[in-house]
Amino acid sequence: MVYSARTPMTALLWFRRDLRLTDNPALNAALTQGRLIPVYIHDEASHSPWPAGGAARWWLHHSLRALDGALRARGSRLIVRTGESLAVLEALLAETGAESVHWNRCYEPAAIARDTRIKQALQARGLAVHSQRAALWREPWELKTGAGEPYRVFTPFWRALSARLPELNVQPAPARLPPVPETLASETLDALRLLPRLNWADGFAAHWQPGEEGALRRLESFVDSRLPGYKTRRDFPAQPGVSGLSPHLHFGELSPQQIRAAVQRVAGAAPGADAEHFLRELGWREFAHHLLYHFPHTPEAPLYEKFAAFPWRAAADYAAQLRAWQQGLTGIPIVDAGMRELWHSGWMHNRVRMIVASFLTKNLLIPWQEGARWFWDTLLDADLANNTLGWQWSAGCGADAAPYFRIFNPLLQSQKFDAQGVYLRRWLPELAQLPDALIHAPWTASPAQLAAAKLRLDQDYPLPIVDLAASRARALAAYEPIKAARS
């Protein structure tokens, strides 16, 4: 698409979490106006109480830099401003003479409230405001049960969504864009102070390339080489079996439609089991946004009210164990490996996410909100909808958490999905010399075996902070009153 040189109108294109030029509905709509001013507004207050965490801020910095580079390559540039969103938009409208504002919709409760207020204020001034669907296949309010209620169970939701997937029509990135007036001021990305002052994020760059170009490369690599066998390999954390697209999706560097098109290119019009399973995983993402939209209280409180009475331990009682979990020092290797992978790379394998979440909420009886907050700050793909669904599912208090009292056995999970200890040795080098039979539970090794592996328990690696069998029994006992209340 090329912009129309004959149309004199000017539009503001407000980038938020749609940091791409390909298949961007708001961009394409704004281009019909003729002149176009791409804008990013750094307004952390509007995301309260969930402003971007430290890892996500690192990604945002680099993604915005990539977006600005892509705009400049097409003759435009990104205008960056800081401040309250409505005030910044009003100032830009006055500076540019723009007659319309375009954006792609966000679905978090704070974002919906912000956008509603801004749209009403601008329309009251006679300005045209246009919002588009760009992040989801269907809007959260479009799918309902036969009784007209929102879905709370994934399988019927996915059945309904699968029957109403939109037509595949991926719009290419524009070849050229209208220039932005040189007199229009922009703040520098460095002025946003998104990067950490300490170099704790240095390991991220070895694993990730933020921006649309990096997203497209990862997508093509996945569908060409890892989609075959996905259904089986995705559960094994030592294997490159998953897509790794979640950060790119969260920041809108890819659209779900682009992913569908890429999968269809490889799998054909009748996808096999691997392609279907992968698309189903994207369906969980849609389900998470569906739930957040209809139940906006869930980032802080359980979906099912009866779980509000669950007997979590007191903060003063669990503070030391929470720190051990955060630092990967629980003495349970699969849990510690996952937490160290998270800290080093800003990401964690999905199977391991379920294991560490089950351990925190059920073996340690620490409230799921503590885990959700930690993931929010340390995950590059921290997404309020996905984070909330995942943690409530793990704690048993959310949608589709049946049986809600399920407790993952971390030893069995480790032995089943990392039998040779490849994942454990990658992130826990102090255990590297233990044989495969012992690396999942070092505390079961004899003194001679520990000496042969040059491992001193409680010095080089901690002893378990909790007895798995006893803590399982404690958790099941805690769920008994809830089970009785729900029956």
| CATH number of the domain residue 272 falls in | 1.25.40.80
Nearest Cα neighbor of 461 from 452, 450, 475, 474 is: 450
| Active-site residue flag, 312 | yes
Count Cα neighbours of 110 within 13 Å in the Cβ-side half-sphere.
14
Catalytic residue among 58, 137, 391, 393: 391
pTM above 0.85, yes or no: yes
Whether the Cβ atoms of residue 355 and residue 334 lie closer than 8 Å to each other: yes
Residues 322 and 379 in one domain: yes
Q: What tokens were used for 229?
A: 């066998």
Evaluate whether residue 179 is within a structural domain.
no
Domain that holds residue 386: 305-486
Residues of the chain with pLDDT under 50: 1-7, 486-487
**Would strands 79-82 and 10-15 be described as parallel, antiparallel, or unpaired?**
unpaired
Residue 482: what pLDDT? 87
Residues 236 and 339 in one domain: no
Residues 142 and 55 in one domain: no
Q: Is the peptide bond before 237 cis (omega within 30 degrees of 0)?
A: no
Annotated binding-site ranges for FAD: 230, 278, 381-383
Residues 152 and 107 in one domain: no
Evaluate whether residue 321 is within a structural domain.
yes
Cα separation values, 267 from 159, 196, 264, 274, 276, Å = 20, 41, 5, 9, 9
Residues 219 and 277 in one domain: yes
Residues 284 and 335 in one domain: no
Catalytic residue among 139, 187, 284, 443: 284
Evaluate whether residue 198 is within a structural domain.
no
Whether the Cβ atoms of residue 50 and residue 108 lie closer than 8 Å to each other: yes
Residue 4: what pLDDT? 44
Residue 35 CA, distance from chain mean position? 33
Residues 49 and 119 in one domain: yes
Evaluate whether residue 67 is within a structural domain.
yes
| Active-site residue flag, 44 | no
Tell me how far apart the alpha carbons of residues 30 and 13 are, in angstroms, rounded to a whole number: 7
Tell me how far apart the alpha carbons of residues 58 and 471 are, in angstroms, rounded to a whole number: 37
Annotated binding-site ranges: 230, 278, 381-383
Q: What tokens were used for 280?
A: 């189903």
Residues 83 and 16 in one domain: yes
| Neighbour count for residue 344 (Cβ, 10 Å) | 18
Residue 363 belongs to a domain with what CATH number? 1.10.579.10
Cα separation values, 30 from 2, 76, 141, Å = 12, 14, 25
In the chain, what is the straight-line distance between the N-terminal and C-terminal CA atoms, in Å? 58
Residues 23 and 111 in one domain: yes
Residues 369 and 480 in one domain: yes
Residue 7: what pLDDT? 46
Evaluate whether residue 449 is within a structural domain.
yes
Residue 27 belongs to a domain with what CATH number? 3.40.50.620
Last residue of a domain, one of 235, 262, 294: 294
Residues 322 and 253 in one domain: no
Residues 345 and 439 in one domain: yes
Evaluate whether residue 2 is within a structural domain.
no
| Active-site residue flag, 58 | no
Catalytic residue among 14, 58, 208, 312: 312
- Residues near 411 by beta carbon (within 8 Å), at least 6 away in sequence: 332, 334, 440, 441, 468
| Active-site residue flag, 284 | yes
Residue 461: DSSP 8-state: B
